[in-house]
Structure 1
Amino acid sequence: MALDVHGQLRAMILNGELPPGSVLLQAEMARKLGVSRTPMREAFRLLQEEGLIDARPDQRARVRSVHPEDLDAVYGARILLETLAVSMTAQSFTAEDIERMSDALKRMRGLTVDDQPEEWHAAHHEFHSIATQAVGPHLQRMIASLGEHSERYIRLAQLGAPASWGKASAEHEALLDALRSGDPAEAARVVARHLARTALSVLADIAPEHEPAATRTALAIAGNGRQ
């Protein structure tokens, strides 16, 4: 039950139904969704862990604003961790992995982000999960957590620059090709530049004055160049 409630609230935040700054009351949201306060408390806890709300002891919470510093830090960390992960995955990628990843990519291409955002993001999550699967469970949890924090920024990028998603599709194809070829260095370069482009695109839209030091430094380390 708590996971269902969490999923509903998460979708409402990510699609803008609950915009940044919205005040959420546990009792009010429980009535609105037709549940008790117990699953609502757990849902609030999960949303806070994902960085989507700031919860208070008085059973109130506020939807977090998008801060450029947070975005920069999240993507800097993602670049460093995911380049390590895809480099390891490239060394043990199987025919079955290629088939699963190709299927996820086909589903992403067959979905419309505007009309089917949840399905697209599920396929996108699966694609990146397969690409980073070779690391141990501790790093997998870290990567998954950062990915969840990133989803809000990905949706902002889709709204701010929809034309850029043709380039994203090409980058996904390039990552699959690098993994299929067993090329760790190329896989790392592709994923570093792919993640950096998303971060820089959103930052240029929401905070053009902000210098994305973490993203650029991580890209220079992991992607062999600056963007």
Structure 2
Amino acid sequence: MSADPVVEPRPGRRLALDVHAAVRAMILSGELPPGEPILQAALARRLNVSRTPMREAFRLLQEEGLIDSEPDQRAVVRAVDPAELDAVYAERVLLESVAVSITVRSARPELVARLEESLALMRAQAGAGDVESWRETHREFHRLTTEGAPMLADALCTLGERADRFLRLAQFGTPVASSRWDADHGTLVDAYRTADHDLAVRTIAQHLARTAFTALADIAPCEDATATRAALKLLMAEG
């Protein structure tokens, strides 16, 4: 188990948000796995805070769909819902494709250079088997490919975090081992380098959809990614 997060003393609402962020990170990282019962009192002691900010943190986590509250100030980390995975990736296919479409049209050499650096770093981290560092760089890579659409940044960040949770729970192995993922990232960089709008949009849509199909096949092999397939079909038809 990783070291407990440090929550600095802060007044009121700010402390509740810090506690929420700490517990949320524990859930998204898998430290608190699906089905894990959690007690407000025990978690408050662990984070060295009172129950008041912990109650507010639990409320926020339930609103996000990460926990299910139970009597006696208990909660359970919500299990993965295949329909949620499908919905998250359908949204990502649509929104991230729009953001990439906007960004690639105005990509400057500085952005291309940062994408090249990020890709090289991901490959080095993959070679070293440094999964956690790879995940951080991977998130930054996707952020760079969409930075021309700041109005979508918050939505894309939230969807990315939810998607990362599914990937951590899937059994198909770490993405760093996938040559297909690496090839997609390389193609994206090429598309930005040459300002190839159609290639960039097609690559990101297929990349995200393929990830959803693979993750769902491991988490719930009897389910089909209906929404993701529909989103991909819509984009490919428009392309």
Normalised TM-score (structure 1): 0.85
CA contact (8 A) 1:87 1:188 kept: yes
Amino acid at match of 1:152: R
Which region of structure 1 is more displaced relative to structure 2, 175-184 or 40-49?
Answer: 40-49
Pairing partner for 2:119 from 105, 120, 132: 105
Pairing partner for 1:204 from 202, 209, 217: 217
Residue-by-residue CA offset, 1:145-189 (whole Å, 9 max, x unaligned): 1111111112234x4244762211111111111122111111110
Amino acid at match of 2:45: R
| Unmatched runs of 5 consecutive residues or more in structure 1 | none
How far apart, CA to CA, are the structure 2 residues paired with 1:57 and 1:189? 48
Q: Number of matched residues?
A: 223
How far apart, CA to CA, are the structure 1 residues paired with 2:64 and 2:112? 30
Pairing partner for 1:40 from 35, 41, 54: 54
Residue-by-residue CA offset, 1:87-123 (whole Å, 9 max, x unaligned): 1111111111112222222222222599644422221
How far apart, CA to CA, are the structure 2 residues paired with 1:57 and 1:92? 53
Aligned with 1:65: secondary structure?
A: coil
> How large is the Cα RMSD of the aligned pairs?
2.7
CA contact (8 A) 2:30 2:168 kept: no
Alignment of 1:112-151 (within 5 A): 112=126, 116-137=130-151, 139-151=152-164
Q: Report the CA distance between 1:39 and its aligned residue.
A: 4.3
How far apart, CA to CA, are the structure 2 residues paired with 1:203 and 1:113? 26
Q: Provide the residue aligned with 2:12 in structure 1.
A: none
Q: Provide the residue aligned with 1:88 in structure 2.
A: 102
Tell me if 1:28 matches 2:42.
Answer: yes
Q: Provide the residue aligned with 1:188 in structure 2.
A: 201
Alignment of 1:38-77 (within 5 A): 38-55=52-69, 59-77=73-91
Which region of structure 1 is more displaced relative to structure 2, 3-12 or 119-128?
Answer: 3-12
How far apart, CA to CA, are the structure 2 residues paired with 1:46 and 1:135? 27
Query: What percent identity do the matched residue pairs reach?
Result: 50
Tell me which structure has the larger Cα radius of gyration. Answer: 2
Aligned with 1:160: secondary structure?
A: coil
How far apart, CA to CA, are the structure 2 residues paired with 1:101 and 1:123? 10
Q: Report the CA distance between 1:206 and its aligned residue.
A: 1.6
Amino acid at match of 1:70: E
How far apart, CA to CA, are the structure 1 residues paired with 2:49 and 2:124? 35
Amino acid at match of 1:181: T
Q: Report the CA distance between 1:40 and its aligned residue.
A: 3.1
How far apart, CA to CA, are the structure 2 residues paired with 1:5 and 1:106? 35
How far apart, CA to CA, are the structure 2 residues paired with 1:48 and 1:113? 38
CA contact (8 A) 1:189 1:224 kept: no
Q: Report the CA distance between 1:21 and its aligned residue.
A: 1.0
The 1:52–1:114 alpha-carbon spacing in structure 2 relative to 1, beyond 3 Å, is farther
Amino acid at match of 2:51: R
Amino acid at match of 1:68: P
The 1:96–1:192 alpha-carbon spacing in structure 2 relative to 1, beyond 3 Å, is same
CA contact (8 A) 2:166 2:215 kept: yes
Residue-by-residue CA offset, 1:37-87 (whole Å, 9 max, x unaligned): 344345434544543223458533210101110000110111011111101
Which region of structure 1 is more displaced relative to structure 2, 203-212 or 65-74?
Answer: 203-212
How far apart, CA to CA, are the structure 2 residues paired with 1:50 and 1:166? 33
Tell me if 1:160 matches 2:164.
Answer: no
